[in-house]
Structure 1
């Protein structure tokens, strides 16, 4: 029998009491002095003005606020103390946070205080974050299918289990240990990913940017055919409805090989607009706005939007995968060439970059080396969120299991 089971058998063998939250804590809505701009101050002696925007997603504690309000404003607001809870009652409502600072809260928050006789703060945090309680809050805040804001009365009506404090302490210890192990693993994986990326970039730059042994040529000298795509007129159903022609968009161009395309246009769009088919294994460069300079390889024939510049490589001179790596290695150079208010590229700016051009056999050797690094980096990159998601699911499963108690019958 583990320690938690022993405590439960000793302290609450018949179950734990279930009570409405409003009987266990003081729950109040925040308040906003208006107009708020009148009360914002840069004076260091001002009172912390805690807003939803001050909270980082996933954080447990509120440790700072970007703005302060005057003492006069504080009198018209809701003052909260370090150690109290605040609960968002709008937008992403129902998320609990423990205050690490004193301050005032606006009416987008509820304050929760005076629970110390019933709950340890960390236990209450886990309890309010649990799947069951989050579902209850969502259900109670809904009316006729439309999600409404939480209010103090709804939160007061939520029924919570109240195990003995010693049981709460042991549950907190277990869940905190689990969280520490997850954080440690995530840090290790992130560090490994960073190191592998640095290795990859070092070898890539050594082979492609600092290569002094191969003749350098203009990119255009190895391009058999280049073209931009097109975006058929929006609102014209005949160009989009039931389309079967794959149509690659710029947001899908992100230093990758593209095997699947999820946007489509019609055959009529190809016939009546500038959209055109390109063969598989073109090197595609995004040429517009925030995505400009990113590159990809289409592994299937496709059309593209007008923000893609598509290069079919002359296979007698260069390997398409080698050219992809060359363009990838010059991402910063391409960024420096962007023009106009949006920061666009064009065919001349792209085709004007220079690349080393060794014999095809040497190109293949370089591709093989970079492919191995790319696979390693991407395996870790894909494995990292998958591992984190799995750990999160494990934590939530055990948290919900640990927070499920038999109800004490009176």
Structure 2
């Protein structure tokens, strides 16, 4: 960044002037371009929705094309122009931009504005990712379900315009950061995927019954409880209401869980009150889902939910959840499933007699420890590879934003 600082001192000794976007170029609003107009070949076209989902900061190729007669009616995008989205269902996506760096003229359609300018196109596109733009964009955004920042509003947003040599050096640095971030991101993503495959392999290997495992029944190692067959009045606070929507990939997602009132609680836990160490599962719809309850908080079972309370002399509580989710028991669930007119279900009244295989308690605890370690590496966003990937992206964004923040020129 010292090179950037040197250039700023040389070319912008009194600071960097900010100019309204409408003064640094011409803003041309797009029109038309439904996806039904796309063809296999023809004139390159960028649809506003693709800027959210496909394109990065800049591109030299389009993934879509339109017929020449269709292109004649659409907004033209020349090399170095910037295409900016005007509309989105959320504030984060509105105002996203891509610089067109291809050799030929292309087109864009409605919900997009083309900025024609004489600045460095990558500099403009990078700046449109910065906090300076996000803050101004928010002030001009209108709508609730659909957010809009019009071309007229974009024209009022001020962009710092340093000397072109400063812009080019900033672009060179950010291109380098972007390439490194993308390379590292790809490496970490590949490593993360390898760990997921490894986790899946060991999950199946460790939970597939071995020759030393003994055959018993579910009722011998746990009590089986059925939840209420009704739906309570839900509240914003109070004891947790654990329904089938609370179960997500072997965990409780409390963000998807509701509450019940204190006045309903005693009635709702008349059959059973969840306590730490229990395994809860769905016996209608979303069959095979289960999760371990480790909270010492009041909670109640929802409709279509069952509960396993482990006999700890026979089974480690966490292992009970794992063996329920393991390949043998999941296969058994599929064979026991009863297909109904509206939903599939498993006959919870008969579950105590279902066969199940378990190893010794020490072996159970070894398996729990091994799978917990794998799970932490793959899934825990506060540690392991996902955190490393997020840290690198945060680092890139920090340096990008610092490079795009200037001392304002005195007026």
Task: Mark yes or no: TM-score above 0.5.
Answer: yes
| CA 229–199 in structure 1, closer or farther in 2 if over 3 Å, else same | farther
Structure 1: 5+ residue stretches without partners = 234-238
2-side partners of 1:360 and 1:252: how far apart? 29
Partner of 1:157: 156
Rounded Cα–Cα distance in structure 1 between residues aligned with 2:189 and 2:207 = 26
Match of 1:236 in 2: none
1:111 matched to 2:108? The reply is no
Q: Give the equivalent residue in structure 2 for 1:244.
A: 238
Name which of 85, 97, 113 aligns with 2:82.
85
Task: Give 3-state SS (helix, strand or coil) of 1:226's partner.
Answer: strand
Give runs of aligned pairs for residues 241-390 of structure 1, distance below 5 A.
241=235, 244-256=238-250, 263-270=258-265, 276-289=272-285, 291-300=286-295, 302-330=299-327, 333=331, 336=334, 339=339, 344-348=344-348, 354-379=355-380, 382-390=383-391
**Equivalent residue number for residue 206 of structure 1:** 205
Q: RMSD between aligned alpha carbons?
A: 3.7
**Paired residue secondary structure (2:248):** coil
CA distance in 2, matches of 1:222, 1:146: 52
SS at match of 1:76: coil
Q: Structure 2: where are the runs of 5+ without partners? A: none
Deviation at 1:208, TM superposition (A): 2.1
TM-score (norm 2): 0.80
- 1:171-186 aligned within 5 A: 171-186=170-185
Distance between the aligned counterparts of 1:122 and 1:288, measured in 2? 54
Deviations 1:197-247 (A, max 9, x none): 3333333322321523323344454332231355524xxxxx334753222
| Partner SS, residue 148 of structure 2 | coil
Looking at structure 2, the residues matched to 373 and 41 of structure 1 have their Cα atoms a distance apart, in angstroms, of 45
Distance 1:371 1:5 in 2: 48
Give the drift of 1:134. 2.0
Match of 2:22 in 1: 22
Q: Deviations over 1:161-215 (max 9, x none)?
A: 2212221122122223333343344334434433333333333322321523323
TM-score (norm 1): 0.80
Q: Kindly tell me the number of residue pairs found equivalent between the two proteins.
A: 396
Indicate if the aligned counterparts of 2:81 and 2:115 stay in contact, CA closer than 8 A. Answer: yes
SS of the aligned residue for 1:172 comes to helix
Over 3 Å counting, the alpha-carbon distance change for 1:82 and 1:350 in structure 2 is: farther
The secondary structure found in structure 1 opposite 2:56 is coil
Looking at structure 2, the residues matched to 58 and 382 of structure 1 have their Cα atoms a distance apart, in angstroms, of 30
Deviations 1:254-307 (A, max 9, x none): 345659786321244345568852332111223454x54232111235212224
